[in-house]
């Protein structure tokens, strides 16, 4: 079957490798790279027959990843990081080229090869970093925006590098080629702006009106890859064209839907990219040149990471951002492969330099998810060592908080909870790791601590030992478990309210002895069902009974050992039995035009009218001579059955739902 067999083997092996990585708590990317190493022609195992074809498919993975990045990218998002991206990145590239040149000289390379080496190691991996940020849940943070902004500028720099570096063979020629390349890039961007603002919205609107999900997916894939191919034909980067296409499409009304549809395709082709990276790994070369490889990996990782961290500080980024940049962008990127192949084809570098760079790239890519994962841990450890450095707390009283509520996560859910508690003057605070969300809480005058709630030092800063309630808004069971364990060690009596990702995780949350669990999808389903029943004229009392029954059935096992919860639920149901219910009296109903005495509500219906709103005016405790009119809103007190009888009298005869 040729390439079909190879693809099947890669996908199946990657699945099992991914499962192992998931169990070990590592990013799936590592499993994909290991899959490629297992099928590498250099490892002596089962070598694939279509390695070159798979590498070509992997290029589609890079293009789709940058296309999806473009869909998520917004010029507004780049504004906070434009200085470090547009000014800092060229500085980083030049400093890294200088570092690489020095390494090359120490290794005995000539000037030309040393410059090539420095250029190749100056680029970082957009593909690896994005997958790492996704797996860590860091996309959208200030750190991620800085890194993505710098990576975009690095990717743009590949175009002039492809023209300039071969000129080192003969510097007297080639400047005209550079000018032509720049002119092509400018014309391409101008054409894409015209296409994206004038033609693309009309095309997407027409496709969306066809009502076919498959055609929509095919259209956005064709746009991303098609534009990338056009850029390739005019001599620019295929992946760069795909990124520009995604960026243009993101400004349309269909950007969010396009992103959600393209993600599965992107991830599948991305798998092939990482597998192809693993296939480049040659253990024999590493064994023969282990000293050079080790030196290059260490110097590039430490030196390049230090350059990124230093630039972040120079451009006045604080907190975790410098550390995140240093531990996230130290690797050698995928575009180095493209430049290295160009170097071989133009006889600019030797095969030894080519293999050395590729081996360094594969090793540093493999190390990236592992090292980047330590960012939060090292940042928290640093703050615990330097006690003189105050915790990053905002709107937090110097005297601290007591008997307060701690909200872990300042996203849409956590921020909304904080707003409600603030209005009710409830003492509370947010723990958040996303700098943008921290700034939003700061602007709303909500107490917030920057940090990871799964670490002791952050929970101590929040004075967890004196808190009365802990609300965990993240649905990740592993993260919730770490937070609950540490919080309970500090405060065994603290009550915990957590968010579960689905019904199937209830038992896992039960093991954590959490006080209350909320399942957003389940609650949304109940609310939609309640709204639907209201439109079907089902009495509100019966709707309440049904929805509460469903909720009790679902959580019966979760709260089976909690006697307090049972008592509270019984009291809650008893309260609803005699709760006030507002009903609308419709024209043509039995009540329309009748007085309270004529209806004999207290005797025949066993209910009483607490008040009536008519023409936006409240009539409290109406007497027996009060006559109902259409569009009145009456407040009824009585049992469920009494209120149901009254409700049936408010509905026109044609709208009453009769039970069979």
**Whether pLDDT at 305 is above 90:** yes
Residue 481 pLDDT class (50, 70, 90 cuts): confident
**Whether pLDDT at 470 is above 90:** yes
215-230 pLDDT, tens digit per residue, is: 888 888 888 888 888 8
Q: What is the mean pLDDT of residues 34-39?
A: 84
Q: What is the mean pLDDT of residues 1-15?
A: 82
Question: Looking at residue 91, what is its pLDDT?
Answer: 95
**Whether pLDDT at 55 is above 70:** no
CATH superfamily membership of 393-518: NAD(P)-binding Rossmann-like Domain (3.40.50.720)
**Whether pLDDT at 76 is above 70:** no
Q: Among residues 356, 370, 371, 372, which one has the least CA distance to residue 281? A: 356
Top mean-pLDDT range of 183-187, 311-315, 353-357: 311-315
Lowest mean pLDDT among 391-405, 423-437, 545-559: 391-405
Max CA distance (Å), the chain = 107
548-584: b (≥16 Cβ within 10 Å) or e: eeeeeeebeebbeeeeeeeeebeeeeeeeeeeebebe
Q: Which helix or strand (DSSP H or E) is residue 583 part of?
A: strand 580-584
Strand spans (E) along 182-293: none
Q: How far is CA 653 from the centre of its chain?
A: 52
Q: How far is CA 37 from the centre of its chain?
A: 29
Top mean-pLDDT range of 253-262, 297-306, 545-554, 583-592: 297-306
DSSP 5-67: HHHHHHHHHHHHHHHHHHHTT--HHHHHHHHHHHT-TTTTS---S-HHHHHHHHHHHHHHHHH
Average pLDDT, the chain: 79
498-520: b (≥16 Cβ within 10 Å) or e: bbbbeeebeeebbebebbbbebe
Whole-angstrom distance, CA of residue 227 vs CA of residue 108? 43
- For the chain, percent of residues with pLDDT exceeding 70: 81
Neighbours of 655 (CB within 10 A): 12
Strand-strand pairing, 607-614 and 448-450: unpaired
Q: Which two tokens stand for residue 96?
A: 């890294």
List CB contacts of 158: < 8 A, sequence separation 6 or more.
123, 237, 240, 335, 338, 339
DSSP 279-305: HT--HHHHHHTHHHHHHHHHHHHHHHH
Residue 29 pLDDT class (50, 70, 90 cuts): confident
Whole-angstrom distance, CA of residue 545 vs CA of residue 520? 20
**Whether pLDDT at 650 is above 70:** yes
578-660 matches 3-379 in CATH topology? no
| Inter-residue contact 319 to 80 (CB < 8 Å) | no
Question: Looking at residue 569, what is its pLDDT?
Answer: 54
**Whether pLDDT at 146 is above 50:** yes
Question: Looking at residue 387, what is its pLDDT?
Answer: 43
Question: Looking at residue 90, what is its pLDDT?
Answer: 94
Residue 308 pLDDT class (50, 70, 90 cuts): very high
Q: How far is CA 87 from the centre of its chain?
A: 28
Question: Looking at residue 389, what is its pLDDT?
Answer: 39
**Domain parsing of the chain, residue ranges:** 3-379, 393-518, 578-660
Of residues 351 and 178, more confidence is placed in 351
Whole-angstrom distance, CA of residue 648 vs CA of residue 651? 6
Question: Phi/psi zone of residue 37: left (φ > 0), alpha (ψ -120 to 50 degrees), beta?
Answer: alpha
Of residues 606 and 340, more confidence is placed in 340
Of residues 294 and 280, more confidence is placed in 294
* Cα radius of gyration (the chain): 32
Query: In Å, what is the CA distance from 383 to each residue of 264, 318, 458, 485?
Result: 39, 13, 10, 21
| Inter-residue contact 388 to 151 (CB < 8 Å) | no
Q: How far is CA 123 from the centre of its chain?
A: 25
Residue 384 pLDDT class (50, 70, 90 cuts): low
Question: Looking at residue 567, what is its pLDDT?
Answer: 47
Strand-strand pairing, 633-638 and 580-584: antiparallel
Q: What is the mean pLDDT of residues 574-587?
A: 67
CATH number for the region 578-660 comes to 3.30.70.1450
**Whether pLDDT at 174 is above 80:** no
Q: Among residues 650, 654, 652, which one has the least CA distance to residue 583? A: 650
Q: What is the mean pLDDT of residues 508-522?
A: 81
pTM over 0.75: no
Q: What is the mean pLDDT of residues 634-640?
A: 77
* Phi, psi values for residue 646, rounded to 5°: -65, -40
Residue 369 pLDDT class (50, 70, 90 cuts): confident
Residue 557 pLDDT class (50, 70, 90 cuts): low
- For the chain, percent of residues with pLDDT exceeding 90: 13
Residue 390 pLDDT class (50, 70, 90 cuts): very low
**Whether pLDDT at 392 is above 70:** no
Name the DSSP letter for residue 637: E
DSSP 463-511: TGGG-SEEEE----HHHHHHHHHHHHHH-TT-EEEEE-S-GGGHHHHHH
Of residues 452 and 114, more confidence is placed in 114
Q: Which two tokens stand for residue 299?
A: 């110097």
* Phi, psi values for residue 90, rounded to 5°: -60, -35
Q: Among residues 74, 483, 399, which one has the least CA distance to residue 250? A: 74
CATH topology of domain 3-379: Na+/H+ antiporter like fold (1.20.1530)
Question: Looking at residue 476, what is its pLDDT?
Answer: 73
Dihedral angle over CA of 188, 194, 197, 200, nearest 10:
-70
**Whether pLDDT at 572 is above 80:** no
Q: What is the mean pLDDT of residues 439-454?
A: 82
Residue 546 pLDDT class (50, 70, 90 cuts): confident
Question: Looking at residue 385, what is its pLDDT?
Answer: 56
Q: What is the mean pLDDT of residues 44-63?
A: 70
Question: Looking at residue 175, what is its pLDDT?
Answer: 59
Q: Among residues 452, 522, 517, 460, which one has the least CA distance to residue 487? A: 460
Question: Looking at residue 575, what is its pLDDT?
Answer: 47
Q: Which helix or strand (DSSP H or E) is residue 438 part of?
A: helix 435-443
Lowest mean pLDDT among 89-93, 163-167, 372-376: 163-167
Top mean-pLDDT range of 85-99, 277-291, 584-598: 85-99
């Amino acid at each position: 079957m040729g390439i079909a067999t190879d693809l099947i083997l890669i996908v199946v092996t990657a699945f099992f490798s991914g499962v192992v990585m998931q169990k070990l708590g590592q990013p799936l990317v590592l499993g994909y790279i290991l899959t490629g190493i297992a099928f590498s022609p250099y490892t002596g195992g089962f070598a694939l027959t279509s390695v070159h074809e798979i590498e070509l498919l992997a290029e589609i993975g890079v293009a789709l990843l940058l296309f999806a990045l473009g869909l998520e990218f917004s010029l507004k998002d780049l504004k906070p990081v434009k200085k470090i991206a547009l000014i800092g990145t060229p500085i980083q590239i030049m400093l890294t080229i200088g570092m690489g040149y020095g390494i090359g000289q120490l290794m005995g390379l000539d000037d030309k090869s040393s410059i090539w080496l420095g250029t190749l190691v100056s680029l970082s991996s957009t593909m690896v970093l994005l997958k790492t940020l996704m797996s860590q849940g860091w996309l959208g943070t200030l750190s991620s925006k800085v890194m993505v902004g710098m990576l975009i500028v690095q990717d743009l720099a590949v175009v002039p590098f492809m023209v300039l570096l071969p000129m080192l063979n003969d510097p007297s020629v080639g400047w005209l080629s550079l000018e032509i390349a720049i002119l092509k890039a400018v014309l391409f961007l101008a054409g894409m702006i015209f296409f994206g603002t004038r033609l693309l919205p009309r095309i997407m609107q027409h496709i969306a009106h066809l009502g076919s999900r498959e055609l929509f997916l095919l259209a956005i894939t064709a746009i991303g890859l098609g534009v990338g191919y056009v850029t390739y034909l005019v001599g620019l980067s295929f992946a760069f064209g795909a990124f520009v296409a995604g960026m243009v499409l993101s400004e349309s009304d269909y950007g969010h839907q396009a992103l959600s549809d393209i993600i599965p395709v992107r991830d599948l082709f991305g798998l092939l990219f990482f597998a192809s990276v693993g296939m480049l790994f040659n253990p024999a070369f590493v064994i023969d040149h282990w000293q050079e490889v080790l030196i290059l990996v260490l110097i590039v990782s430490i030196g390049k990471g230090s350059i990124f961290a230093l630039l972040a500080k120079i451009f006045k980024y604080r907190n975790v951002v410098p550390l995140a940049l240093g531990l996230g962008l130290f690797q050698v990127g995928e575009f180095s492969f493209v430049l290295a192949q160009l170097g071989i084809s133009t006889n600019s570098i030797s095969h030894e330099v080519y293999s050395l760079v590729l081996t360094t790239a594969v090793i540093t890519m493999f190390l990236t998810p592992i090292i980047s994962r330590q960012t939060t841990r090292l940042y928290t450890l640093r703050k615990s060592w330097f006690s003189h450095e105050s915790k990053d707390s905002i709107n937090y009283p110097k005297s601290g908080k007591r008997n307060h509520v701690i909200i872990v996560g300042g996203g849409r859910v956590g921020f909304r909870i904080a707003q409600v508690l603030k209005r009710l003057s409830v003492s509370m605070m947010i723990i958040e790791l996303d700098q943008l969300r921290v700034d939003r809480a700061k602007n709303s005058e909500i107490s917030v601590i920057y940090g990871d709630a799964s670490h002791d030092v952050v929970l101590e800063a929040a004075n967890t030992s004196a808190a009365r309630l802990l609300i965990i808004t993240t649905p990740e069971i592993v993260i919730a478990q770490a937070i609950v364990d540490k919080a309970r060690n500090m405060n065994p009596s603290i009550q915990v309210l957590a968010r579960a990702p689905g019904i199937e995780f209830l038992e896992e949350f039960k093991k954590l002895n959490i006080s209350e669990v909320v399942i957003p999808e389940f609650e949304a389903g109940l609310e939609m069902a309640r709204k639907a029943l209201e439109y079907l004229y089902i009495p509100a009392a019966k709707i309440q009974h049904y929805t509460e029954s469903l909720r009790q059935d679902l959580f019966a096992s979760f709260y089976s050992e909690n006697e307090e919860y049972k008592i509270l639920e019984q009291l809650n149901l008893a309260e609803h039995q005699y709760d006030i219910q507002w009903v609308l009296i419709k024209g043509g109903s039995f009540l329309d035009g009748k007085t309270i005495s004529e209806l004999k509500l207290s005797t025949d219906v066993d209910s009483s009218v607490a008040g009536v709103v008519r023409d936006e005016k409240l009539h409290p405790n109406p007497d027996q001579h009060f006559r109902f009119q259409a569009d009145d809103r009456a407040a009824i007190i009585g049992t469920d059955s009494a209120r149901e009888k009254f409700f049936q009298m408010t509905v026109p005869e044609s709208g009453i739902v009769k039970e069979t």
